[in-house]
Amino acid sequence: MIQVSVVIPVYNEEESITELISWIREVLEREGLTFEVILVDDGSDDGSWEVIKLLCKNDQRIRAVGFFRNYGKSAALDMGFSKAIGDVVVTLDADLQDSPEEIPALYAMIKEQGFQIVSGWKKKRKDPISKTIPSIFFNFVTRLLSGIHLHDFNCGLKAYQLRVVKNLHIYGEMHRYIPLIAKWNGFGKIGEKEVDHQPRKYGTTKFGIERFINGFLDLISVSFVNRYKKNPMHFFGTLGSLSFFTGFAITLKLIIEKIQGLSKGIPVREITAQPLFFLALVAVIIGVQLFLTGFLAEMMTSNNSRRTDYNIAEEINLED
């Protein structure tokens, strides 16, 4: 029986992988934990995959999946989760900034304290200010919108019960919101542990401003999908009703004013000559369209993205 599955997304980290695997082996063997390591190469264009193949050849506990191209960290984690079989699944980044020394304590919090998820908190970050300032703002907004009181949603070092990851499907930049997605899926016992953060030893950061922007767009997407995926008509129908009845009320008002003017012999502009009429007409049309969108959304499947969308180039030591 495997106690710990370590899932590691890899993108252009050929210099750090061997050292990281040796560190993980040393820690888990010292603690007497049975384990597997699942490396998901996210379309690296350096020598990462060659290093991974050599590691897999020398140790059957090292398993790997390689993508043809870069799909993003969420896709890599999603694939790793689908292959994991350990009682506790631990994720960490491949750049040696997350310390494997934290794994036994995370494992104990899941197995002994009953947490379903434990998220790392890099209280003392060893990153440049270009990453730390946006991260503080991002975590503040996410805490505000999600109601989950974690200090560091985006920490790569996390631990999960196996059943949690088997009930998650993440894509885009949604790895940032795994605690939020898990909570909405019924896994609400979420803990936090302060973890050691190492300065980057090799390579360069993959962080860019576009990831920060995409992260907030995904937060809106996650919030919307999880709130309305079972009843999209509640969203589209509400907006459609407001738009339709606003337009209808304006049109009715214009008609009544026209009738009253004619009955009293007062000159009144033609209804179709008034700009307000066309605004009302647009509101009615938009309202009808939103209603139709809601009906179509109710009939469509809520999840069109599947793990089979990822084109796997090669697998090592893995069985379906």
- d(C-alpha 21, C-alpha 34), whole Å: 14
Residue 40 has pLDDT above 90, yes or no: yes
Structural tokens at position 36: 């597997």
Structural domain range at position 148: 4-229+306-316
CATH number of the domain at 19, please.
Answer: 3.90.550.10
pLDDT per residue as tens digits for the range 257-272: 888 877 877 777 787 7
149 with 271, same domain?
no
Identify whether residues 151 and 241 lie together within a single domain. no
How many whole angstroms from its chain centre is CA 119? 14
224 shares its domain with 251: no
How many domains does the chain fold into? 2
Q: Do residue 204 and residue 310 come from a single domain?
A: yes
Q: Are residues 77 and 210 in the same domain?
A: yes
Shared-domain flag, residues 200 and 288:
no
The answer to whether residues 159 and 23 belong to one domain is yes
- Round to whole Å and give the CA distance between 31 and 48: 28
Identify the CA nearest to 104 among candidates 156, 154, 157: 157
Residue 107 near residue 33 (C-beta atoms within 8 A)? yes
Distance, in Å, from the CA atom of 242 to the CA atom of 284, rounded to the nearest integer, reads 9
Domain match, 34 and 117 both: yes
Same domain for 209 and 133: yes
Tell me the one-letter amino acid at 79.
Answer: M
Do 293 and 311 lie in a common domain? no
Say yes or no: 219 and 273 in one domain: no
User: Distances from the Cα of 80 to the Cαs of 94, 216, 298, in angstroms?
Assistant: 14, 24, 31
Range with the lowest mean pLDDT among 23-37, 91-105, 193-207, 283-297? 193-207
Q: Are residues 194 and 206 in the same domain?
A: yes
CA-to-CA distance for 211 and 223, rounded, in angstroms? 18
pTM: 0.72
pLDDT of residue 320: 56
pLDDT in tens, 121-138: 887 766 666 666 667 777
